[in-house]
Amino acid sequence: MTNNPSRKSRLKLFLVGFQLFIATLVGYIPSHWFRRAFYRHILRMKIGTGTSIHWQARFFKPSGISIGDDCVIGNNNFLDGRSGIVIGNRVVTSAEVMILTLQHDIDSPDFRAEGGPVIIEDYVFLGARVLILPNVRIGYGAVVGAGSVVTSDVPPYAVVGGVPARFIRERNHDLDYHPNFAMPFQ
């Protein structure tokens, strides 16, 4: 028996793909205000006040993404909201960060998808090209170094790095900043 999707499921898949295509195009519009309004009102992302999403961001299931106040999402980030992403307040992500909430089980006979939510607490900094895998919590004030792959939870105030990310040291606990890097035309 072949797996032949119905016309209705093909149409639904087409519409989801088209929505993501439009969201990708909106990511090239050089206006933080316009992109934020589109992501909030059309894609139903929860985005706090003072938050900017830099250009060329891409998404899976944007309605599954919640971003707090005063955050900066760097250019070319990829956020996979299929199992849920919760980003706290005053979080900064550098360029080309990927946050995944689903992955395939390579040992499963049917190659099934599995995963879970990613939770990023307040005052976290993610360096350039960080990859966060499903079912991960990054604790309050933690820092993930550039190029790291996060496969397990990161404790509060920890500075981690590497592949897979490992503890390097503890960060200063006195954090009180309001990131605002909404450069024009970005």
Residue 178 lies in a domain: no
Which H or E run contains 18? helix 7-26
How many domains in the chain?
A: 1
Q: Report the pLDDT value the prediction gives residue 6, as an integer from 0 to 100.
A: 85
- Burial label for 48, CB within 10 Å (0-12, 13-18, 19+), is middle
Kindly report, residue by residue over 62-102, the tens digit of the pLDDT: 999 999 999 999 999 999 999 999 999 999 999 999 999 99
Q: What is the structure's pLDDT at 181?
A: 80
The dihedrals phi and psi of 38, each to the nearest 5 degrees, come to: -65, -50
What is the rounded average pLDDT of the residues 143-169? 98
Q: What is the pLDDT of residue 85?
A: 98
Query: Is pLDDT of 2 > 70?
Result: no
- For residue 103, pLDDT over 90 is answered with yes
Domain annotation covers residue 48: yes
Give the pLDDT confidence score for residue 3 in this predicted structure: 63
What are the DSSP calls for 124-150, one per residue? -EE-TT-EE-SSEEE-TT-EE-TT-EE
- The proportion of the chain whose per-residue pLDDT surpasses 90, expressed as a percent, equals 85
Q: Is residue 180 part of a domain?
A: no
String of DSSP letters for 83-117: T-EEE-SS-EE-TT-EE-SEEE-TTSTT--EEE--
Residue 1 predicted with pLDDT over 80: no
Mean pLDDT, range 150-179, rounded to an integer: 97
Tell me if 183 is assigned to some domain: no
Q: Specify if 1 maps to a domain.
A: no
pLDDT of residue 180: 82
In a domain, 186, yes or no: no
Across the chain, mean pLDDT equals: 94
Residue 86 CB: number of other CB atoms within 10 A?
17
Render pLDDT for 33-59 as a digit per residue (tens, 0 to 9).
Answer: 999 999 999 999 999 999 999 999 999
The answer as to whether 181 is a domain residue is no
**Could you tell me how far CA 171 lies from the centroid of its own chain?**
23
175: in domain: no
> For position 5, what pLDDT does the model report?
73
Catalytically active residues, by annotation: 104
- List the CATH number of the domain containing 40: 2.160.10.10
pLDDT classification of 168: cutoffs 50, 70, 90: very high
How confident is the model over 141-159, as a mean pLDDT? Answer: 98
User: Phi and psi of 36, rounded to 5°?
Assistant: -60, -45
Q: What does the pLDDT look like over 22-33, one tens digit per residue?
A: 999 999 999 999
Range of the domain at 64: 7-170
